[in-house]
Structure 1
Amino acid sequence: MNTTMSYEHFIQVAELRTQVMEAAARFDFQETPKALLFAERCHAGQRRKGPAKLPYIIHPLTMACHALSLGLAEDELIATALLHDTCEDCHLLPEELPVNAAVQEAVRRLTFFPEPGVPHARARDSYFARIPGNRTAVLTKLLDRCNNLSYMAYGFSREKLLDYIDETERAVIPLLDYAKQHFHRDRDALFLLNYQMYSVMNSIRALLERDL
């Protein structure tokens, strides 16, 4: 199976970019255009993991379009989705991002850096613990995990698939539950995010069990 063709059949950079820029113009977004241009420069030449080797910018662009399709047409949220990996992947500080302080703060909460002398598992727990309390960061993380779950069959080993599902249930689903309790106006979007995550996880788990 040609994974590049099967994925790019419905995910193409130019179309995603056009959708984001048209939304930015329609809603008079100020941060999103700056975020998109900066993300494109930061991720230039980078590829997603897996045999498809897709341009990395597909990931944040898909997240941005996902948010828009869920009715989350918010400038700071879309900008955060576009920039959420730039600090971690390109060794930047949040204050170096060409966006307002609210977007910088959301990206800061979403940036994971290993801590010297701290076990990886504990550092990951600290990372997830600082996301709640910031609605933009929470929603962006849920969008991020949805996209990664949907893509993981293209680039994850069997062991990585199981580990990623385990981390999702242990650390990300609590974020979803937190959002349900605190962000009532996002109820419809959260229902769809919940549906997507569980659908993908259950499907992958069932297929792996069938192969045993």
Structure 2
Amino acid sequence: MRDDAALLDEAIAMACRAHHGQRYPSPEREPYIQHPLRVMLAVTPFRAQMVAVLHDVLEETAVTAGDLRAAGLPDEVVAAVIAMTHRPEDTYEEYIEQVAGDPLARQVKLADLADNLANNQRLVRTPDVVERIDRYERAIHRLRTT
């Protein structure tokens, strides 16, 4: 059985493959992988870092929960990545409640929201951007009060 450091290496490699060619909606249109890597570096321990680097793969790529399990990732990591996946049928508020129910997902989502918020604050203040900033700030407040 591989230790958490080796599993983190695998999670990083998987995220890099999955997000290859995608762009993050930053002013610079940076490679998407930079976002999950920033989130990963904002959390500890290794299992939180695994969740962080993989937090968007189920929502934004062809990777499935089965792929995460097949890679040998711990059940709690897979569960947290699933909890961080916004299903199309759920409102954003329902999604945040889903995240709030998993301590590992909640920790990583707070780091994700901080990165998303910082990015959106650098964008031109269109009505959509202002609405996203407000939504992120409400979500941060909700997750901090859990």
Q: What are the superposed Cα offsets for residues 177-212 of structure 1, whole Å, 9 maximum, x if unpaired?
A: 21xxxxxxxxxxxxxxxxxxxxxxxxxxxxxxxxxx
Take 2:137 and 2:4, find their aligned partners in 1: how far apart are those partners?
37
TM-score, reference length from structure 2 = 0.86
Deviations 1:32-58 (A, max 9, x none): 111000000001111111441101010
* 1:142 CA drift (Å): 0.2
Verify the 8 A CA contact 2:123 2:129 in the aligned structure 1.
no
Q: Which has the larger radius of gyration?
A: 1
- In structure 1, the partner of 2:12 is 36
Whether the 8 Å contact between 1:52 and 1:154 is mirrored in structure 2 is no
Equivalent position to 1:134, from 82, 102, 106:
102
Cα RMSD (Å) of the superposition?
1.9
Which digits, 9 at most, give the CA deviation of each residue in 1:118-146, with x for residues without a partner?
A: xxxx5222211111232110011000000
Which of 35, 45, 60 in structure 1 is aligned with 2:21?
45
Structure 1 SS opposite 2:105: helix
Unaligned runs of 5+ in 2: none
Query: Where in structure 2 are the equivalents of 1:1-212 lying within 5 Å?
Result: 29-67=5-43, 72=44, 74-97=45-68, 98=71, 99-115=73-89, 123-155=91-123, 157-178=125-146
- Where structure 1 has 5 or more consecutive residues not aligned to the other structure, the ranges are 1-26, 116-121, 179-212
Superposition misfits of 4+ residues, deviation over 3 angstroms? 153-157
Preserved contact between residue 50 and residue 156 of structure 1 (Cα < 8 Å): no
Deviation at 1:93, TM superposition (A): 2.3
C-alpha distance after superposition, 1:58-117 (max 9, x if no partner) = 0011111122xxxx2x111000000000010013322221222111100000001212xx
Larger relative contact order (CA 8 Å, sep ≥ 6): 2
Higher percent of residues as helix: 1
Instruction: Figure out how many residues of one structure are paired with residues of the other and give that number.
Output: 141
